[in-house]
Each structure stands twice: as C-alpha cells, then as structure tokens.
Amino acid sequence: MNAATPSEADPSADRVLAETRAWLERAVIGLNLCPFARAVHAKQRIRWVVCDARDTDALLATLCDELDRLAAADPEAVDTTLLIHPRVLGDFDDYLGFVDVAEAALAQLGHEGVLQVASFHPDYRFADAEPDDIANATNRSPWPTLHLLREASIDRAVAAFPAPETIYEANIATLRRLGAEGWAALQAACRSDSENAGPPPRSGGD
C-alpha cells in the first residue's frame, strides 16, 4: 500500500496538533463552518490523535483501534476523534481511496450505524469542483485528517439546528465572501497561532 510522501519533513506531533487546533478554532468554529463544533470543543470532548504511520497498513491499524475506542468511550468524556496522519496520504486521490477502506473497516468492526468517518485534507476537492474553487476550503485542514463521529451526536445536533440543510450553502457563501486571499490570511494566522501556542492537549477524556 502507498507510503507517505510528506510535503514537509517529519513535523513534530506538537506542531501538527497546534496547527490543527488553530484551524478548528479559526476556521471551523470561527467561520461557523460547523455549527456543532463549538460546544464539543468547549467541553473538551475531542480526542486528538497524531498518527506516526508512514504507510496505509499502519494507519488502518490505528484507525481500527480509534474506532473501537470511540465506540466504547463515554460520550461525556470523548464525543468525537480527530485522527491526524501527517506522514501518509498526502496525495488527495490516494486519501480518497483510503476513505473507502476506512468505511469498509468501520462496517467490519460492527460500528456501522453507530460511527461515521468524515474527510479533511489540505487539498480537498469536491466532486466536479475545480481545484481552486474556494468552496473546497470547507474541508481543507492543515494535515490529512479522518474525523470519527458518533451518529447519535450528529442526530441530536441536527435536530437542534433550525435548518441543517442550509449549512452547506451557508459555508460556500461564507468562503466566497472571504475569498482566496482571505483564506490564505486565515491559514497564515493559524500557523502563527500554532507557533506561539504551548503544547496542545493531545486528547479528550484521558
């Protein structure tokens, strides 16, 4: 299976965590791209995991462990997991192929209908979208990331939101107002935040 082709040589786990946390706070929460993220972050119910895998076999093993761990955890302690893998699947097409593998693993582990896997990548591109379409930024994270979620939590959040079907359109409108220059400035601010931050928490519930 494909080995990693990192764009930058061996970033430290602390750097990867700090940049991802800054992105969550400034982009996902700050731009309100996910109206449900603020509460789970504020309550420290996110498990942050940096996987050192350099090939997809090792990443799959970690993913399976994290799926089992999330399914068994108390939602009041760990409601969701961000599995960040900076050294493997830097190529977006390879990443998309692995997402299919992740979905199959979730089903094989018996977590279908209980957990979901969401996709985030620095080069994320929606189907039929141009690579430079700013709408792609809704799913563009600093590092390749698999987001593990509980379906029950998603259902509760959607039920509490007045018009969940409008989130996608609202996100695109937000990003189009921001524009490419604004997105680049936000990314620079995230990097600056991460450089000035102390070591971020590695996980919720530990």
Q: What is the domain count for the chain?
A: 1
Q: Which residues of the chain have pLDDT under 50?
A: 1-7
**Residue 135 belongs to domain spanning:** 13-196
Looking at residue 138, its amino acid is T
CA–CA distance, 152 with 146 (Å, rounded to integer): 18
pLDDT, tens digit (0-9, with 9 covering 90-100), for 94-112: 999 999 999 999 999 999 9
In a domain, 206, yes or no: no
The confidence score (pLDDT) of residue 6 equals: 40
In a domain, 106, yes or no: yes
In a domain, 122, yes or no: yes
In a domain, 123, yes or no: yes
The confidence score (pLDDT) of residue 91 equals: 97
In a domain, 6, yes or no: no
In a domain, 35, yes or no: yes
Long-range contacts of 127-136 (CB under 8 A, 24+ apart): 132/180, 134/175, 134/176, 134/178, 134/179, 134/180, 134/183, 135/171, 135/172, 135/175, 135/176
In a domain, 203, yes or no: no
CA–CA distance, 102 with 108 (Å, rounded to integer): 10
Give the DSSP H/E element, type plus range, for residue 179: helix 167-196
Decide the pairing of beta strands 115-120 and 80-84. Answer: unpaired
In a domain, 2, yes or no: no
CA–CA distance, 182 with 191 (Å, rounded to integer): 14
